[in-house]
Amino acid sequence: MSLDPKANDRINMMEKFKKEGNQCFQKCKFQEAIQKYSKGIDAYDYFGSDVKEADNLKVTLLSNRAACYLKGRCFEKCAEDCTEALGLLVQDDGIRCKLLYRRAKACFLSTEGDDSLSSKSKTLLQDAAKDLLQLLSIDVKNTEAATLLHAIRAKHDLQKGTPIKQTLIALKEASSEEDQIQQCNILLGLITNDESMALDVGQCQGIPLLLSLGSAKALQVLSCASSNPRFVQLYGSEISQDRLTDLIRSLPSSRELAMPCISIWLRLVLYLDPLNNSPDAVPLVNQHLLLQSCRATFSNPELLPATLDVLSTWTTLSREDVVRSSTTTQHHFPILYTEKEFRKMKPREVAAIRKEEYERQKRDKEWAKNRAVYFCKEGGLSDLLEQTIKNCQVTMPLRKQIGLVIGKILASIQDDEVLKNLVKPFIGSTVATIEEVFEEKTESDFNTERLDQLTMNAFLVTSLLFSQSEVGAWGLTQIKDDISELICSSEPVPMAIASELVSAAASNEKARASISYLIQNGALQTLVEHPEQTIRSGAASAIAKLGLATSNKDSTNNEENDMELLEIATELLDDSDNLESNQPGKLMAINEHTQLTKKNNEEKAVATTSIERGIEVLGYLASKTNIKEELAHGFRCPLDSPNTALQRLVELASIPGAGESISAYALSTIFGLIAVSNETLRREAFEGKDISMEQYDELQSLGKTEEEKAATKDKLPDDNPEAVQERIRKLADANVPQAMVKLMDGSSDTTIEALVIGLNRIATEASVRGLLIQQGVLSACIKLENDKKNVKAQEVKDKKDKIAQGAYQCIARLLITTNPAILTTSQRMGSIKPLIQLVRDNTASDLQHFEALLAITNLASSGYDAKDKIVSEKGIPTLSYAMFSDHELVRKAGTEAMCNLIPHPAMMKHLADEENLRLWLAFAASYEENFECARAAIGCLAMSTDNPNVAETLVGLKAFRESTKCILESGNLELMHRVLVMIQNLMLQGDKCKKEVEEAGLVAFCHAYVQSYHDGSKIQDLEFNPEQEGLMTVTINLAKDICKS
């Protein structure tokens, strides 16, 4: 029916209220949304029952209002709206499924608290099940409906006694400890095999029972159930935090009892506090009880790693990311919208979502800051520091983990002044004089107490340097005079802490000045010479970093010192640091939550294990030519070690998951540095700059005397191209390229970029390109082409583009000289698109364009399938564009690549075009300006003129006669040979082509040419070499054939 204007106004009014209601719903203002939807529904009363537009709108309004009622737990009203909407709905399976699900859920939730299941609750459950079965008949893949149906059936069976309920009853009635353990094992099996069973534990009042038992097995059951986020969200408030704290404080030495309690605390921290941004959202985890529990475990090194996880999670700045990463279940978390979904929204809707997300993150950061401050002020920091230093059972790896977590907690404060005020009492408190101690303390006690305090100060400053560099540098100035005392103490723990401190300080530009005196007074050398690797490693790292930082100021090449550091680093590579060998964890000394940050900021990660420290030291040393030579040629330490340093690096890089480690970037850098000379590195640094390396060196030399210039020249390391080539061959033989490919898996963009640069350097050596392809380099670079797709953030996109450009260049270098026949079809075909894209890339260098064109030329020679792929990737216009490059070699390579596409139909069609062929003829005639390009162009014309269309178009050009004569008279035998082949082809075409050749005087030229040189007497006077004499004979024979035709 046609609507009158008033009806249209009513429909517009309904649309307006629907839109306003939707906006309120997105802001979680459900009551306001209900009011808006209700006004829209009221406007419907104006219409009769035959107005389809109004019916559809009312269905939508009812459905939306039902969703609001469901959120507000008004289940009966929700079901009523769904029923009314289903009565109006004609045909829309999408809305029908939503309505059926909402009505079913409302019916199900209406039965909450009725465990005995009254007749009304049974009816509601039956109705809900019917709705869900109808929904699943429409949408069989609806997982939410299937889950809810399972919950309904489980609740319906509850009266009969579910397996969980029956087992809990048996547990409660168990008369002996053995029976209790048996029932707990049954519960563990049920929950482990079916996560939804965890909810039954909460529904059947199992939480108070398990806590009251307080046995190890009972706590394990509760810990297992709490690993389900929904269990904690629904029933976490029933877990008595006082009881958990009492259990831990009463039995801190019992790992079996305390560990499940700590695990439960971790789940409460993860899932109990709200993730949404409602105004009344408050932390539900009692921070006083949590800290009491944690402090009770500090004295037990077996429990400390788990406790550190709790503290790290509790104070994390990115709580939502940590929570999401801990579980695959995301249904009950805030919705994560994709970029595609955002593009479909209106700007106002996107702004509202972004604002809510910002407010949520702001709130989480505020919570983290408050918790970190509370941890410091309420004794958590002091207790943890004291146990870390004084407890002899704390191992060095655990001590490093503690330092990282302390640093992470302090970083959550995010206010340098507040942080300084918090740590000042710690780093400023030392035992000043013997007179100030109690009389009962001896001088030995005094020295021990002072040393412990200095060690704790150094440990705290080290943690700050790792996490808050500026505050850490400030803290170092407060204790720098005490470092020598720690080193001279000869005590392992203080010396180890001092070693870690100087290593961290050497990485911080602002902190280096505070430790430079340790080199002059020999303190660092004392650490380097210590028999314990953990002590040597930090000092070696510090010396390497300080040496690199001052290399531009002091050019003295202390090879003896370098070799000492190399020996230490190589020994460190074979140290497992109390971790099982060949496990990815040995390269990652951080907990699972820290890894989230590490993957995005790998270059800021901290090396902590001996192996990581060894890799770090080598990363700094590998810039020195003598170290590169040693590593490439099989350096090993000790001499009887089964593996060389390079072999060990390859092993470490090949460990599954090594790309996700904090050492991945250092490994990629080491391999890349070995494969390049320092001069090339300097040239790379000047790429894209306004000044060249040579100009810079010339400016630097202006202020130097002749003696200084000579001295500088004498100090330059001998790193000639032959030495670099030999190192590259050694790398290839040691399977370094294969290890670099494996290292790409899971690596950050920064690491992948370094790996691509290193592989490009290795690929410059032609003799190893086949090995590189065998070791997977070509396939890996092709794969990287796909990694830059679907990237929205501009900064990330630029990084991906740079990586892709480097990968394309590596593909080009590998395929310049490689026989395409040895490649697989996927490698051959997969390489073409990246190469075409590299030629098309305006940001690429002339060298990259040139190498890509050479590789395309090589691939095009492999057969028709390669030519067809090049054409399908729009290669002809791309290669044509390259023919007009400013660089002579690029123009030549582009022309040759085009030639190799002959006789593909698309190429022949391109050449048959008059405008295109005119350009080719112009290229051919310009041999004086660009001989190589002209030679390639004439060759193309020679090969293509056996095609009638190309031949006829060519002879029809105005410049044909003059250009062809010009080339014939050039006197260059190679050009003459090619143009004579072209003339011969034109003669064979007959008719118009033959006539044009004859009228142009080209046949007459051939007659004269033959007459002049047919007997060979004049050839002797030309003083040709044997190759030229042979080519001369070929051209004469061609001229004779033309004359005969």
- Give pLDDT tens digits for 634-654: 999 888 888 999 999 999 999
Region 130-134: mean pLDDT is 89
Q: What is the pLDDT of residue 380?
A: 93
User: Is the pLDDT score of 669 beyond 90?
Assistant: yes
Give the up-direction half-sphere exposure of residue 998: CA atoms within 13 A in the CB hemisphere: 12
Region 239-252: mean pLDDT is 86
pLDDT class of 42 with cuts at 50, 70, 90: confident
The C-alpha atoms of residue 870 and residue 877 are separated, in whole angstroms, by 11
pLDDT class of 695 with cuts at 50, 70, 90: low
CA distances from 436 to 432, 442, 455, 485 (A): 7, 12, 20, 20
DSSP assignments along 921-946, one per residue: HHHHH-TTT-HHHHHHHHHHHHHHTT
Region 424-431: mean pLDDT is 69
The C-alpha atoms of residue 629 and residue 934 are separated, in whole angstroms, by 45
Query: E strand or H helix at 865, and its extent?
Result: helix 864-872
User: Is the pLDDT score of 789 beyond 60?
Assistant: no
The C-alpha atoms of residue 787 and residue 535 are separated, in whole angstroms, by 42
The C-alpha atoms of residue 892 and residue 936 are separated, in whole angstroms, by 7
Region 963-972: mean pLDDT is 86
pLDDT class of 47 with cuts at 50, 70, 90: low
pLDDT class of 446 with cuts at 50, 70, 90: very low
Give the up-direction half-sphere exposure of residue 731: CA atoms within 13 A in the CB hemisphere: 33
User: Is the pLDDT score of 780 beyond 90?
Assistant: yes
Percent of the chain with pLDDT over 70: 83
Q: Which residues does 849 contact at the CB level (< 8 Å), separation at least 6?
A: 838, 839, 882, 885, 887, 890, 893
* Three-state SS at 792: coil
Amino acid (one-letter) located at 401: Q
Q: What is the pLDDT of residue 333?
A: 59
Q: What is the pLDDT of residue 820?
A: 92
Q: What is the pLDDT of residue 161?
A: 62
Give the tokens for residue 220. 């394990």
Taking a C-beta distance cutoff of 8 angstroms, is the pair 615, 573 a contact? yes
* Three-state SS at 715: helix
Region 785-797: mean pLDDT is 57
Q: Which of 473, 458, 542, 471 is nearest to 514 (CA)?
A: 473
* Three-state SS at 263: helix
The C-alpha atoms of residue 514 and residue 523 are separated, in whole angstroms, by 13
Least confident range of 95-109, 309-323, 579-593, 957-971 = 579-593
- Residue 725, phi-psi category: left (phi > 0), alpha (psi -120 to 50), beta (remainder): alpha
Q: What is the pLDDT of residue 736?
A: 95
Q: What is the pLDDT of residue 370?
A: 92
Amino acid (one-letter) located at 554: D
Give the tokens for residue 161. 């006694």
Q: What is the pLDDT of residues 852-870, one digit of tens each?
A: 999 999 999 988 999 999 9
Amino acid (one-letter) located at 223: S
Q: From the CA atom positions of the chain, what is the Rg in Å? A: 39
Amino acid (one-letter) located at 29: K
Q: What is the pLDDT of residue 673?
A: 93
Which comes out higher in pLDDT, residue 3 or 336?
Answer: 336
The C-alpha atoms of residue 393 and residue 451 are separated, in whole angstroms, by 18
Q: What is the pLDDT of residues 750-768, one digit of tens each?
A: 999 999 999 999 999 999 9
The C-alpha atoms of residue 523 and residue 530 are separated, in whole angstroms, by 11
Percentage helix, strand, coil, to 5, in the chain? 75, 0, 25
Q: What is the pLDDT of residue 702?
A: 55
Q: Which of 625, 616, 628, 407 is nearest to 507 (CA)?
A: 616
pLDDT class of 281 with cuts at 50, 70, 90: low
Q: Which residues does 368 contact at the CB level (< 8 Å), separation at least 6?
A: 315, 316, 317, 319, 412
* Three-state SS at 582: coil
Q: What is the pLDDT of residues 604-633, one digit of tens each?
A: 456 667 788 889 889 888 888 889 999 999
pLDDT class of 73 with cuts at 50, 70, 90: confident
Q: What is the pLDDT of residues 181-209, one digit of tens each?
A: 999 999 988 888 777 788 888 888 899 99
Give the tokens for residue 1013. 């040189």
Average pLDDT of the residues of the chain: 82
CA distances from 609 to 147, 393, 442, 502, 1029 (A): 45, 18, 37, 15, 71
Q: What is the pLDDT of residue 276?
A: 62
Taking a C-beta distance cutoff of 8 angstroms, is the pair 670, 614 a contact? no
Q: Which residues does 712 contact at the CB level (< 8 Å), separation at least 6?
A: 555, 704
Give the tokens for residue 853. 């064109």
